[in-house]
Amino acid sequence: MERVCGALTRKGTPCLKMGLKNGRCRLHGGKSTGPKDRKKKSEQMEGNNNAVKTGEHETISYGTLTDEEKELYEQINTEPAKQINGRLKIIEIRTFRMMKRYAEESIKAKPNVALLESLEFALTRIDARAIELIRENRVLLEKDEGLTDDSSLIQLNNILNGMRKDRQAKNNA
């Protein structure tokens, strides 16, 4: 026998959709909103990591670091451009957390392959961000050290490029 939902609609009439296991249809069953008592709700929701899947977009600040992560934070050695250094440190910690999640998931009897794949892709994106920051840091270093177009490395690079062009011209002729 089919069960009808029966929940009151906006019109005030009973819903005629077929009910699920709980007796209500998919529209009126609803998900739990958590505990009704505000005090209990705030205590239970504090530190909620249900939305953290890979951790790539997890908010990280120094105050949220574990003791182990704080030690890692202090050990990460970067020098110029404080803004870039801070981001590099956070990326290293994010990578550390994601690698821990990966290791924990991979040792399970039945690891979640989709999660492992998500973590791998996220780690690749994080690496790309780190490389961008390292490049920015290098550009800032060059500016700080006053490297200009007449620096010896750039001169050598220009000489080598000129020689390559000459060789290509001779080969094409």
**Higher pLDDT residue, 21 or 33?**
21
Residue 142 tokens, joined: 């060059």
C-alpha–C-alpha distance, residues 72 and 88, integer Å: 12
pLDDT > 60? residue 165: yes
Average pLDDT score over the chain: 78
Hey, is 145 helix, strand or coil? coil
pLDDT > 60? residue 1: no
Q: Output the pLDDT for position 87.
A: 84
C-alpha–C-alpha distance, residues 87 and 121, integer Å: 20
C-alpha–C-alpha distance, residues 25 and 15, integer Å: 8
Measure CA 47 to chain center.
18
b (16+ CB within 10 A) / e for 94-114: bbebbeebbeeeeeeeeeeee
Which of 52, 54, 94, 55 minimizes the C-alpha distance to 72? Answer: 94
Q: What is the pLDDT of residues 95-147, one digit of tens each?
A: 999 999 999 999 999 999 999 999 899 889 888 888 888 888 788 777 766 65
- Residues 29, 42: contact at Cβ < 8 Å? no
pLDDT > 70? residue 70: yes
| Helices and strands (H, E) in the chain, number of each type | 6, 0
Integer-rounded Cα radius of gyration of the chain = 28
